[in-house]
Amino acid sequence: MSSVFAGRVAVGLTLGAVLVAGCARFDESASSPFTTEPALGGSDAQPNKPDDAPPQVPRPTGPCIDPDPNVIATCLEPGAGLIPFGDGALVAERQTGRILQVTPVDASTPQPPPVEIASLAVDGSGDGGISDIALSPTYGEDGLMYAYITTGSDNRVVRLSKNGGAPKTILTGIPKGASGNRGAIEWATPTQLMVLTGDAGNPGAAADPGSLGGKLLRLESPSSGTNVPEVVASGIGSVGDICRDGRDGMWLTDRTAAEDRLQHLGTDGTISVAWTWPDRPGVGGCAATGDGVAIALSEGKALAAVGADANTFAVTTEPTLIAQDKYGSLLGATGGADGSVWVTTVNKSGGAPGEFDDRVVRIPPPQGGAGGPD
């Protein structure tokens, strides 16, 4: 079902995003994006016995110090994509274009303010801005990071260096609209970058072979300077996310006028619909789990734990909702090294923001694994 997009994408256009000088301070201790995917619970998870539990230490109080010990960062602008980084994560603020480093602390320590790593000039109107970020698979050697952004003229993928300097354009010409600008990026292999593009509010673009909108694209060696995207799949609506499945395939989430969808990309290139939500809870970021995938929900205001067959990745049971209505609208998601899922909230984007919004939250696995109770 793959086809090659006709023509080369222009890479010489003026970039509307500028890296703020002196802000690129990427942590050298960041783990490789190809380490083993964390498990969400599972049969080996052994909760602490009551007499083994650590003593409860009161959390400090004060402005922007959330009393919830699972809140990693507070008082942010609405978040988007986030990725593991060192002992914490890198978080993209959708509308501001900032990329922040956040790090967890123990319950007795005040939360430190996030560290601004970089800032991109983006068009944050509608659902545009900076949607997603990804480290180079050889980040320890080259210090490169990629971002999916909205500019004044289009949606595009750019590359940043920890050494600073202007971002390098990787892929331009992805259609921009009043909505449907969100996109996602993820490495399928150490040389192949997958790019999931929105339909820019025009379902016709998703079916048009001459448009980069509403597509799953593959870029081979995106830093080589010769980027002719291969169309892997068409018909994508408003993008949620793309994430690896813990093996060699990938999960995709998107929203259409009729339903929200979870799809799976197999190693043979076949796309299959794994689950649909006719009630459209607003599927967003995803993270592989021990027995499936966890999906952030903006309208559903929960983390959905979706169980899948270990061999076929088929989904046959209703997803379990975790932390429903506890943190509000969720968008970004990534797996933590401890088996938890980290999410970003977007309560300032038309929601009902609380005192500490917006936040980065660590959601522990439910007792008994992804299929267990909240």
Residue-range domain boundaries for the chain: 3-49+76-363
Q: Cβ–Cβ contacts within 10 Å for residue 144, how many?
A: 20
Evaluate if residue 221 carries a pLDDT over 60. yes
Q: What is the mean pLDDT of residues 159-172?
A: 93
First CA to last CA distance, the chain: 39
| pLDDT 10s digits, 101-123 | 999 887 667 778 899 999 999 99
Local structure of residue 204 (DSSP, 8 states): H
pTM: 0.85
User: How many percent of the chain have pLDDT more than 90?
Assistant: 68
Non-local (6+) Cβ contacts of 289 within 8 A are 38, 39, 40, 41, 246, 305, 335, 341, 365, 370
Closest listed residue to residue 41, CA positions, set 300, 370, 271: 370
3-49+76-363: CATH topology is: Neuraminidase (2.120.10)
The pLDDT of residue 224: 78
Determine the Cα–Cα distance for residues 117 and 90; give it in Å rounded to an integer.
8
The pLDDT of residue 282: 98
Residue 39 token pair: 């498990």
Evaluate if residue 32 carries a pLDDT over 80. no
Determine the Cα–Cα distance for residues 214 and 229; give it in Å rounded to an integer.
13
Non-local (6+) Cβ contacts of 296 within 8 A are 241, 283, 284, 285, 286, 303, 304, 330, 331, 332, 333, 343, 344
Confidence of residue 18 (pLDDT cuts 50, 70, 90): very low
**Mean confidence (pLDDT) of the chain:** 85
Q: What is the mean pLDDT of residues 71-92?
A: 95
